Amino acid sequence: MEVRQTYLNREQAAAILHIQPKTLANWASQGKGPKFRKPGGRVVLYTLDDLHAWVDGGT
């Protein structure tokens, strides 16, 4: 059985974390914050699993 991930853009991910999207952008440029993907261009995506893992483990 295939499990599909839910992808969120930076604004959606920031809303879940109760921070500003700019904070996520700054963290990403510093190599901090939750894991993200860049499928192409300027698009940045986060999964719910990665957001939860980061909150739970701080990684």
pLDDT, tens digit (0-9, with 9 covering 90-100), for 18-59 = 999 999 999 999 999 999 999 988 899 999 999 999 999 865
Containing domain of residue 24, as a range? 7-57
**Is 17 strand, coil or helix?**
helix
In a domain, 2, yes or no: no
Identify the bridge partners of residue 45 per DSSP, sorted by sequence position: 9, 37
Rounded-to-integer distance, Cα 56 and Cα 4, Å? 21
Model pTM score: 0.85
In a domain, 11, yes or no: yes
Buried b (16+ CB within 10 A) or exposed e, 7-17: bbebebbbeeb
In a domain, 51, yes or no: yes
In a domain, 1, yes or no: no
